[in-house]
Amino acid sequence: DAGVTQSPTHLIKTRGQQVTLRCSPKSGHDTVSWYQQALGQGPQFIFQYYEEEERQRGNFPDRFSGHQFPNYSSELNVNALLLGDSALYLCASRNSRTGRLVGTEAFFGQGTRLTVV
């Protein structure tokens, strides 16, 4: 059973460029969340997708946008990259059908390391 998979694993972009990160949830999971983790800090919630809609959003600017596809996979897009966007981007999935949306175990991918130069 494949867990949460993210691509690419590493990425280097230039300031001002745009980037797309991809996530495939664990088999049977329908809800995907994205987190940003700066070095030495805990992950910070960006947004969550369920039924192809953004359900909740953290304190991130509109430069951060996302999408969820009918097969539950998801993309995170960041426009007009800043040096401060350099971080590990983590995708998490959970199964909303086994209980309340907030009560089930979250599984994380290995992350995408984004470096903005």
Residue 4, Cβ density class (10 Å: 0-12 exposed, 13-18 middle, ≥19 buried): buried
Q: How far apart are CB 24 and other proteins at their closest, in Å?
A: 13
Cβ–Cβ contacts within 10 Å for residue 76, how many?
25
Number of H helices, E strands in the chain: 0, 11
Which CB, 62 or 105, lies closer to other proteins? Answer: 105
Q: How far apart are CB 16 and other proteins at their closest, in Å?
A: 26
Which CB, 5 or 65, lies closer to other proteins? Answer: 5
Site of tokens 């990259």: 81
Q: How far apart are CB 68 and other proteins at their closest, in Å?
A: 14
Which CB, 6 or 78, lies closer to other proteins? Answer: 6
